[in-house]
Structure 1
Amino acid sequence: MTTEIRVAVVGLGKMGTPIAERILDAGYPLAVWNRTRSRAEPLEARGATVLGSAADAFIEADVCVTMVADDDALEAVAPEVLAGARPGTTLVDMSTVSVAASERVAERATAAGVEFLRSPVSGNPTVVRGGTLTLVVSGPEETARRLDGLLRSIGPKVFYVGEGERARVVKLALQVLVGGVTELLGEAVVLGESGGVERGRLLEVINASAVGSPLTGYKGEALLRDDYSATFTTAMMLKDVDLVLDLAEERRLALPFTRHLRGLLEGAIEGGHGDEDFMALYLALREAARESTGAGERR
C-alpha cells in the first residue's frame, strides 16, 4: 500500500541502493539521484523517479535520505539538496561522517527551514537486504517519531539517542568495536591454524561461545570461503577510525587500542588490501606469519 510520505534517496552506492530498494518495497513513492546515472536505472525500472539533479530532491519528496562516502561528499551534496528545500521537509543523513561535518550540514538545514535527522547505520548491503539493519538516530525527537515508520522500513532496529550529534558519536563508538573485533577474530584464527586447528571448526566454536556475535558469524562465513570481496573496504574502515581518533583528540581522550588498530589497517592497505573487505586484516596477519616462518627456516 502506498504511503503518504514521498521520499528521495541521494547517493546510490553499496548502501544507498539497498536502502532505496527497501523504501520501494515498503510502498513509499521514491525519487532517486546519483552522480552516475546508470546506478539509478535498476530502481527506475522498479518504479522510482530519477531526478535530474540533487537540487530536485525536495521538489519531488517530503523526506530526502542521503547516503554518501565521507565528509567531503556530504558537504558537497547537502547544499545542492538544500537548495531546493521547502519548509516542513526533512533531511535524513545515513552516512558515517564526522561530528564537525554533520554540525555544518545541520546549520545549513536550519537556515533552509529543514529538519535534520542524523541516522547513521550499522550493517552492510547484505544486512540491509536481509532486513536486519540497525539505525542510530539523533535530532528533533518529534521528527524522529513522525518518521519512525519510514526508518523501520529500512531497518527494524531503530535507536533514538537524543538531540544534536549523539548518533554520530554512537556510530563511531560502534566502529571501534567492529574494527577491533574483526582484527581479534583474525588473530584468533591465525593462532588456531598455527596449532593445526581446522579453520571451520575453530569458527564454529567461536560463534557458539560467549564471544560469538552476528559480526563474528558473517565475517567467519567470509573467512571460510577466503572471500575478501568488499562489503566495507579496509580503506573505508581506516577512514572511520580516523574519524574516531579525531573526535577523541578533540575530547582529549586516549584510545590506545584504536590508535594501534589504525596502524594495522594502514599496514594492510600498504600490503595491497585497501580495496578488499576489512576482514583482510586476517590476510595481513597470515602473510606476516608466513614471512616470519620463511625467515626462520632460512636461518
Structure 2
Amino acid sequence: MEKIAFLGLGHMGAAMARRLLAAGFPLTVWNRTAEKAEPLVAEGATLAASPAEAVRDADVVITMLANPVALDAVAGAIAPELRRGTTWVEMSTVGPDVVKELAARLGQGVTFVDAPVAGSTDKAAAGQLGILAGGEVTGVGHVLVHLGTVTRTGPVGSGAALKLVVNTAVLGGVALVAESMALADKLGIEESVARAALASGPLGGAVGRAFAEDVHFATALAAKDVALATKVAELPVLDAVLDHFKRAAADPAVADADIAMAVEHIRRSA
C-alpha cells in the first residue's frame, strides 16, 4: 500500500489520520506540537521530526492545517522534498488563491489536489466527510474513500472555492440562529419552545449545528473561514456574521471551543 504522510493533527486531522491508519496504510505523521501525535504513534504511526522528513518517502502527502500562514510554512519545507509521482492532497480551508499558488510552486511530476472537507469531528471519525476535490483525484480516490464521499468540483482551486461557499452558508445560518435565540430571550420565550419552533422551519439544519454536542469546529477557525469569504466579494450580511465570530473568538474561553459556544456568546452579547 502507498506510504502516506499526514501533516496537521488538530481535532480534524487526528481523526482523519486515524481512519487511514485503521485502513492499513503505512502512515507517517507530523504536528507542530509533537505530543498530539502520541496516540497515533501508539496505534502504529511513525512520528517525523519535521515536515520535510515526513514527506521524503511518501507516495501521498495530506495536509490539514489551521490557516494559510501555517500551510505556507509547511509548504516551504515540503515542496522541495516531493519526488516525481507523489500526490499532495491539501485538505485545509485556506481559499482558492492559496491553493493555486501552492500548485504553481511544485515541480514536474507532482500531482496537486485541493480537497477541503465538509463536516465536523464526528463525521471525520466516522469516515463520513464530504470531500470537495479540485484537480485530478483518480490516483488517490482509494485513499480518500476512507475519509468520506468525494465530490469532484473541477480544476485545482475549485474545491477550495466551494468550501468557502459551504462554510459561509453554515456559519451564516448558525449566527442567524444565535440572533433569533437572543430575540427569543428578550421576548421571554422559553428556550426549548423557541428551539423547537426554529428547528421545524427552514433553518432546521443550522439549529441542529448551533446546539450540537460532541463535535468541534473552533470559533477562531470559523472567524478565519468567514474572513476568507468576505475578502473575495462584498458580502454585507457575512460582514456582520464575521463580526459576531471575531468578537466571540476574542474571548479566550470561546476561541478554541466549538461554535456552539459562540452561539451562547452572541446571545449574551445581544
Which structure has more helix as a fraction of its residues? 1
Partner of 1:165: 157
1:234 equivalent to 2:215? Answer: no
Map 1:39-118 onto structure 2 (within 5 A): 39-109=36-106, 111=107, 113-118=109-114
| Further displaced range: 276-285 or 238-247 | 276-285
| Partners of 1:31 and 1:60 within 8 A in 2 | no
Partner of 1:225: none
Q: Alpha carbon RMSD of aligned pairs, Å?
A: 2.2
Tell me the CA shift for residue 220 of structure 1: 2.2
Looking at CA atoms only, which structure, 1 or 2, has the larger radius of gyration?
Answer: 1
CA-to-partner distance for each residue in 1:112-157, whole Å, 9 max, x for gaps? 53100001112222221133211100012xxx122112112012x2
How far apart are the structure 2 equivalents of 1:288 and 1:49? 46
Q: Give the SS at the match of 2:135.
A: coil
Q: Give the SS at the match of 2:204.
A: coil
The number of residue pairs the alignment matches comes to: 269
How far apart are the structure 1 equivalents of 2:62 and 2:250? 34
Q: Give the SS at the match of 1:39.
A: helix
How far apart are the structure 1 equivalents of 2:72 and 2:190? 47
Tell me the CA shift for residue 62 of structure 1: 0.5
How far apart are the structure 1 equivalents of 2:55 and 2:70? 19
Stretches of structure 1 that go unaligned for 5 or more consecutive residues are 223-228, 249-253, 290-299
Partner of 2:261: 280
How far apart are the structure 1 equivalents of 2:215 and 2:43? 26
Q: Give the SS at the match of 1:247.
A: coil
Q: Give the SS at the match of 1:32.
A: strand
| Structure 1 segments (4+ residues) deviating >6 Å | none
| Partners of 2:61 and 2:87 within 8 A in 1 | yes
| Further displaced range: 192-201 or 233-242 | 192-201
Compute the TM-score of the two structures, normalised by the length of structure 1. Answer: 0.82
Tell me the CA shift for residue 89 of structure 1: 0.6
Compute the TM-score of the two structures, normalised by the length of structure 2. Answer: 0.90
1:150 equivalent to 2:147? Answer: no
Code of the residue aligned with 1:246 in structure 2: it is K
| Further displaced range: 53-62 or 130-139 | 53-62
| Partners of 2:5 and 2:54 within 8 A in 1 | yes
Stretches of structure 2 that go unaligned for 5 or more consecutive residues are none
Partner of 1:138: 134
Q: Larger RCO: Structure 1 or Structure 2 (Cα < 8 Å, ≥ 6 residues apart)?
A: 2
